[in-house]
Every structure is written in structure tokens, then in C-alpha cells.
A and B are shown apart, each in its own frame.
Chain A
């Protein structure tokens, strides 16, 4: 027999012997500390089962959200798409009356799309399955500048001036998710535009400790004292009588903004507001490289969901 072939067998025997020795000592350990060891084993089994159950729940929530996105958004994209084709004349000539009615349908569908987007944002936030793509250094004043440029035309039509103030000295960059922080800023500016009939909307910046604070100030309707506590709550919107306008929003924007900012390590608040004078809303974000930024990056990394989104009808 080839001596090489014997080698594994010999070493196997050795392993068996040593494992017998090990299990022998293990048994004696068991005997001396049996009640504790049993409780320990039981706790491990229970924790493992609970952990599995949590993972299953997490998966169920995620599947619900992906199916909801699919089932709610698909029909709306088909309504919107087909109407856009009719309005473009793809299906033949469109008279004024038809154009008027179809335009109303388009406005309604767009409103519905926005609502569904907001509801999906909320369910993702609450299910903890939302991804934050943190960018380590964002110039928030540049994000604001881009937004101001894109909104200048609409603001002018509304007789409102919109501007972004140049920071007095160079502003440090912040750590944030670019898309989500743009969404927060757009939301604050849209709210300001909705309630401002004349005057201006100004975005300003300042550094406060390890944070950059961005504020949106308007010369609009202002918020009555009794409504201030409800601002960041789900589905809250000002009653039309108090602000002299009909609000068509879902009342979800500030709630989503608050969740987004908080998850990125900042805060959002109403700085001041006076009826007939205007309001200032501010939010803070941790400066790049700060201790808070490092904490948030670590936390978001540990919470990042690992998900296969596979839709099965």
C-alpha cells in the first residue's frame, strides 16, 4: 500500500481520539453546571427562533412595499401615458373641450402619483427598508442654488422672488443623501411658494457647532399658534380658513422631511412664524467628518437592508 494513502487514515484516528477527550471533558462540565447550561441552550434556541421570525416579518414588509409600488404605480403610469398620447394628437384630432377635460384628468393623476410616492416613502421609512446613499461631502448651498434656478420662472409668474443667499464665509460640506436632502429642500420651498402670494422666498445658511443649518424664509401667510404643534405630524395640513387658501397637498411632506433629516443625523424645525408676516423653517445636517457624521454613517451601514426584490404575481 502506498504510504501516502495511509496518512489520512492515521490523522483521522488521531482526530477521533482527541475529540473523545474533548467530549469527555465537555460531559464533566455539563454535569457540574447543568441547570445553567440548559437555561443557556434554551435561551439560545428562543433567540434564534425570534430572530428568524423577525427576519421573516422584515421580508414580508419589504415584499408588501414592492408589490404595492408595482400595483399602484403601473396603472397610473398607463393612465398618464395614454392621456399624454391622446393630448399629443397620436389618436387623432383633439378639440378644445376634450383637451380641457383630459388636462383635468392629467392634473388629478399627477396628484395621485405624488400621493402614492409619499405614501410609499412613508411605508419604507416605517418599515426601515429605505436606503440612504450617504455622500460624504455635499455643498448644500450649491444644491439650493440649482433648485432656485429651476424655480425662478414659476416664482416670477406668481409674483414672488426666490433667492439663495451667498454664505458670508465658506460653508463646510455636509454628509447626506443627495436625493433625499434635495427632496427636503424642494418640499420646504414648495410649501413656501404655496402660501406666499407676494414678496420673497429666501434660502440662507449658517454653521452652528458641528452642523450646517439651512433655512427657508417666506413672506407668506404664516402659521397660527394653535397649528404649530401639528406641522410635522402625518396628514397634517393647515385649515384653509386660517391661511386664506385651499391646500391641495397630502400633508405628508413635512413628516417625510422630518424622518429623512433625522435619519441623516440632523433636525428640522419651525424657526419662527407670524400670521400675515411669514415663516422660517430650518433643518440641520452634520458637517463632513464630524463625530455625528461618523455615527450616522455607521448606523446607516448597519441598518442597510439586504433585499432581493423579486416580484411574483
Chain B
């Protein structure tokens, strides 16, 4: 079963994705702040990471930097799912560090995010 790590501080948002992804046959792991996100990425080595950017303890771009610096987590595809618009500095930093796709949370439904996930893991 493919493993997805969701780094997201809003419990209701996590619950929504928990339901959708388990229905689609994925295993979902959740990290509720940036530091925990980095730790879990290294310990669990998921097949894909969904990253929120406005996180407690560590900003999303910093989390992404740490994931990209470690050769073991570097190849994991990352999708950014945030409330920050594409014109913000934080999103641009992430694009430069290398993300597969980035979505504004209000623009997409969980079904659309699942479609994106399936582009990177079978």
C-alpha cells in the first residue's frame, strides 16, 4: 500500500484527507508541524509528501529544504497544498527547491488532489 505523508496543522483538513485517501487505497500519515514533518519524512520515507506551507515551528519551505538536502528523502515527490497564492515568496521558494505541483487549497477538491497523486505513484 502506497504511503503518503501529509504535513498539515489543521486537524479537520487531515481528517478529510484521511477519509479520501484511505478510500482510494492509500495509507495516510499525518505530521502536525514542520519539525515533525521532517522527522517523519526521514523515518517513514513515504512514497509522496503533501506539504502545507504555513506550519507551526518551521515554515514549509524550510521543511522542503531539509527533505531535499537528505539524499534519502530527496527523490520523494512533493505536492504543495497551501492557502498562500502562487505570487507569494514562500511558494516561489518551494518551486525553486523543486515541487511536483502546487495548489491553492480552496481551488481543489480532495478528488482533484488524488488525481495529482496518481500522476506520481501508481
A309 within 8 A of partner (CB): yes
In angstroms, how far is the closest chain A Cβ from the Cβ of B85?
Answer: 7
**Interface band, chain B:** 20 to 34
The answer, among B9, B23, B59, for a CB contact under 8 Å with A308, is: B59
A167–B89 CA distance with the chains assembled, in angstroms: 36
In angstroms, how far is the closest chain A Cβ from the Cβ of B108?
Answer: 8
A179–B88 CA distance with the chains assembled, in angstroms: 12
Assess the A82–B89 pair: CB atoms within 8 A: no
Instruction: Tell which of B19, B20, B86, B88 has the most Cβ of chain A within 10 Å.
Output: B88
Assess the B54–A311 pair: CB atoms within 8 A: yes
B38 within 8 A of partner (CB): no
In angstroms, how far is the closest chain A Cβ from the Cβ of B53?
Answer: 7
Scan A95-124; emit 1 where CB is below 8 A from any B CB, else 0: 000000000000000000100110010000
In angstroms, how far is the closest chain A Cβ from the Cβ of B118?
Answer: 16
The number of residues on chain A lying at the interface, defined by a beta carbon within 8 Å of a beta carbon of chain B, is 35
Residues of B within 8 A of A78 (CB): 10, 12-13, 16
In angstroms, how far is the closest chain A Cβ from the Cβ of B80?
Answer: 13
With A76-B106, A80-B106, A90-B20 known as contacts, the answer to whether A313 contacts B90 (CB < 8 A) is: no
With A82-B16, A85-B20 known as contacts, the answer to whether A120 contacts B85 (CB < 8 A) is: yes
Residues of A within 8 A of B10 (CB): 74, 78
Instruction: Tell which of B83, B88, B106 has the most Cβ of chain A within 10 Å.
Output: B106
Assess the B83–A70 pair: CB atoms within 8 A: yes
Scan A143-182; emit 1 where CB is below 8 A from any B CB, else 0: 0000000000000000000000000000000000101100
Residues of B within 8 A of A113 (CB): 106
Scan B77-114; emit 1 where CB is below 8 A from any A CB, else 0: 00000011111111010000000000011100111000
B75 within 8 A of partner (CB): no
Assess the B23–A90 pair: CB atoms within 8 A: yes
B51 within 8 A of partner (CB): no
Scan A248-264; emit 1 where CB is below 8 A from any B CB, else 0: 00000000000000000
Residues of A within 8 A of B88 (CB): 131, 309
Residues of A within 8 A of B84 (CB): 66, 69, 309
Residues of B within 8 A of A15 (CB): none
A76–B106 CA distance with the chains assembled, in angstroms: 7
A190–B86 CA distance with the chains assembled, in angstroms: 22
Assess the A73–B106 pair: CB atoms within 8 A: yes
Assess the A74–B83 pair: CB atoms within 8 A: yes
A113–B106 CA distance with the chains assembled, in angstroms: 7
Assess the B105–A309 pair: CB atoms within 8 A: no
Residues of B within 8 A of A81 (CB): 13, 16, 20, 109-110
B55 within 8 A of partner (CB): yes
A70–B9 CA distance with the chains assembled, in angstroms: 11
With A84-B110, A131-B89, A311-B55 known as contacts, the answer to whether A77 contacts B23 (CB < 8 A) is: no
A179–B84 CA distance with the chains assembled, in angstroms: 15
In angstroms, how far is the closest chain B Cβ from the Cβ of A261?
Answer: 16
A26–B54 CA distance with the chains assembled, in angstroms: 52
In angstroms, how far is the closest chain B Cβ from the Cβ of A284?
Answer: 22
| Residues of chain A in range 255-313 having any CB-CB distance to chain B below 8 Å | 305-313
Assess the A90–B19 pair: CB atoms within 8 A: yes
In angstroms, how far is the closest chain B Cβ from the Cβ of A31?
Answer: 50
Assess the A88–B111 pair: CB atoms within 8 A: yes
A288–B53 CA distance with the chains assembled, in angstroms: 34
Assess the B106–A85 pair: CB atoms within 8 A: no
A133 within 8 A of partner (CB): yes
A308–B23 CA distance with the chains assembled, in angstroms: 37
Residues of B within 8 A of A (CB): 9-10, 12-13, 16, 19-20, 23, 53-56, 59, 83-90, 92, 104-106, 109-111
| 15 residue pairs A–B, Cβ–Cβ below 8 Å | A69-B84, A74-B105, A77-B83, A78-B10, A81-B110, A82-B16, A85-B16, A90-B23, A132-B87, A307-B89, A307-B90, A308-B59, A311-B54, A311-B56, A311-B59
